[in-house]
């Protein structure tokens, strides 16, 4: 019984080509229209599903894309810290020390009207105290006696701050002239030169190189 009904409801492909299926829907055109609408809806749903699948895949790729360069960046940073940790720490302390120095220099020279050379001496004097302890404990992690390192540190720092920097400021002002911005530019040049000199000399002061190796590096 089921087989007969199934065969009766099935459209023969030959009938479709011959146009015989039109007779089957003569008494029910609305059924044919509904069937066509359902077919169109099914196609539309399939296309929408495909579009959503593609969009979701693109979002997943976009979400995970930054992970690769981020991981690579972290690895590079770890490697830099491992190989150049001492230089990086020195740079950080240098930035902090420079801020102290520059802010005080601007206060003394530009706001209080003190001569730039003397303003530099005063600002660097304040920064020296911070510089010693930051270099001793943080940058070089020195194991040397403070009684031994303080005189050497003061000698190098004072020569750099009062001698080298003051000379650089004088030379820069001789070239570009005087003024608020000129003073700051001259000070910036002096600090740059002073940092290079300090790094080379501080390494000799704070580290123990007996046996040909720097025991405080890392």
Rounded alpha-carbon distances, angstroms, from residue 118 to 46, 88, 94, 166, 206: 81, 31, 21, 9, 29
Average pLDDT for 37-52: 59
Average pLDDT for 181-198: 90
Residues 91 and 151 in one domain: yes
- Kindly indicate the confidence band of residue 20, based on its pLDDT and cuts at 50, 70 and 90: very low
- Give Cβ neighbours of residue 106 (< 8 Å, ≥ 6 apart): 184
Q: What is the mean pLDDT of the chain?
A: 75
Residues 103 and 207 in one domain: yes
Residues 50 and 146 in one domain: no
Question: CA-to-CA distance for 115 and 108, rounded, in angstroms?
Answer: 8
Average pLDDT for 53-79: 60
- Residue 183, classed as helix, strand or coil, is helix
Q: Per the domain annotation, does 2 fall within a domain? A: no
For the chain, the domain total comes to 2
Share of the chain above pLDDT 70, in %: 64
Residues 57 and 92 in one domain: no
Quote the domain boundaries for residue 156. 85-212
Residues 147 and 183 in one domain: yes
Residues 37 and 90 in one domain: no
Residues 47 and 137 in one domain: no
Residues 109 and 205 in one domain: yes
The per-residue pLDDT for 48 is 59
Residues 127 and 194 in one domain: yes
Question: CA-to-CA distance for 86 and 185, rounded, in angstroms?
Answer: 28
Residues 115 and 205 in one domain: yes
- Kindly indicate the confidence band of residue 57, based on its pLDDT and cuts at 50, 70 and 90: very low
Domain boundary among 32, 63, 94: 63
Q: Per the domain annotation, does 164 fall within a domain? A: yes
Residues 199 and 105 in one domain: yes
Residues 96 and 52 in one domain: no
């Amino acid at each position: 019984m089921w087989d007969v009904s199934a065969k009766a409801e099935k459209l023969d492909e030959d009938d479709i080509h011959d146009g015989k299926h039109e007779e089957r829907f003569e008494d029910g055109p609305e059924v044919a229209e509904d069937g066509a609408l359902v077919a169109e809806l099914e196609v539309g749903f399939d296309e929408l599903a495909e579009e959503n699948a593609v969009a979701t895949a693109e979002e997943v790729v976009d979400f995970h894309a930054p992970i690769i360069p981020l991981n690579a960046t972290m690895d590079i940073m770890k490697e830099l810290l491992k190989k150049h940790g001492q230089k990086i720490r020195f740079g950080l302390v240098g930035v902090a020390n420079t801020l102290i120095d520059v802010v005080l220099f601007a206060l003394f020279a530009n706001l209080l009207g003190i001569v730039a050379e003397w303003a530099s001496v005063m600002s660097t004097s304040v920064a020296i105290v911070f510089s010693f302890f930051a270099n001793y404990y943080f940058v070089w992690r020195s194991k040397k006696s403070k009684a031994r390192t303080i005189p050497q540190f003061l000698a190098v720092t004072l020569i750099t701050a009062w001698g080298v920097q003051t000379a650089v400021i004088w030379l820069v002002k001789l070239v570009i002239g005087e003024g608020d911005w000129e003073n700051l530019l001259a000070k910036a040049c002096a600090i740059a030169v002073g940092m290079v000199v300090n790094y080379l000399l501080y390494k000799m002061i704070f580290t123990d190189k007996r046996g040909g190796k720097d025991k405080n590096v890392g």
